[in-house]
Amino acid sequence: MKAKWQQVRRAVAPVCAVSALTLAGCTTYVTSQVTAFSEWSGSDATRTYSFDRTPAQQNSLEQATYEQLVASELDRYAFRRVPRTDAHYLVGLGYKTDAGAMTVTQPVYYGNPWPGPFWRPMGPFGPFGAFPPDYVSQTYPVYTHTLGVRITERSTGREVYNVTARTTNDESSLVQAMPYLARSALADFPLGNGVVRTVRIPVDSHGGGASNEVPVAPAATGRAPAAASAPAAQ
């Protein structure tokens, strides 16, 4: 039985590695699904805007960070950020991460290294014909990151553009996915009403692809040496 599971582990290990790399986006692209709803007229000469925050987003450093990313994308389409009282549009952001799981089932061949009538062979074929494989299932955590960008007219409150971008990978950090989500959501602005499409963006050193692992020195365990006693007065 021990030999059997050693063979199972050897067969499953490459599958796990390939699946993890695929989930991590190691094909040099981050893929997002983008859905847009639009009543954009396209006739405005000056695209001025201000960000509109919910009560929970007030005084939030995370919110301010994501606003900078979205503002950089809006700059590409002649938008200009101004004080709220001077803005033609209000831009609201919604974002979240949903955790899930993905199960991968793969065939596994195992057995005694000496084929015979009483042993399963290590490969799919033995001395008495083909043997059916066993199957091993592995479950991996996956995370779906979502960014929504909603643009409304400040004077009327009318929604003129609403776009959502979603991407799924094995990284739980939303902040690493956000540069790609912002770029995907606003690429080719404005999209038509009801458009659903897939956007693939190459991974680069400025788009959240860098590792977040950093070495940390171990804490000191010993006590500081006690101060030497002063000599007694003569």
pLDDT tens digits, 40-49: 986 788 899 9
Q: How far apart are CA 142 and CA 123, in angstroms?
A: 32
> Is the pLDDT confidence value at 22 over 50?
no
| pLDDT confidence band for 10 (50 / 70 / 90) | very low
> Is the pLDDT confidence value at 154 over 90?
yes
Q: Which of 89-98, 186-195, 196-205 has the lowest mean pLDDT?
A: 196-205
Q: How far apart are CA 159 and CA 89, in angstroms?
A: 10
> Is the pLDDT confidence value at 207 over 80?
no
CATH of 2-202, one of 1.10.540.10, 2.60.120.260, 3.30.160.670, 3.30.2320.50: 3.30.160.670
| pLDDT confidence band for 132 (50 / 70 / 90) | low
Q: Is the model more confident about 112 or about 75?
A: 75
Q: Locate the domains of the chain by residue range.
A: 2-202
**Report field, pTM of the whole predicted structure over 0.85:** no
φ/ψ of residue 145, rounded to 5: -100, 135
Q: Which of 132, 99, 127, 103 is nearest to 114 (CA)?
A: 127
Place of tokens 């030497």: 228
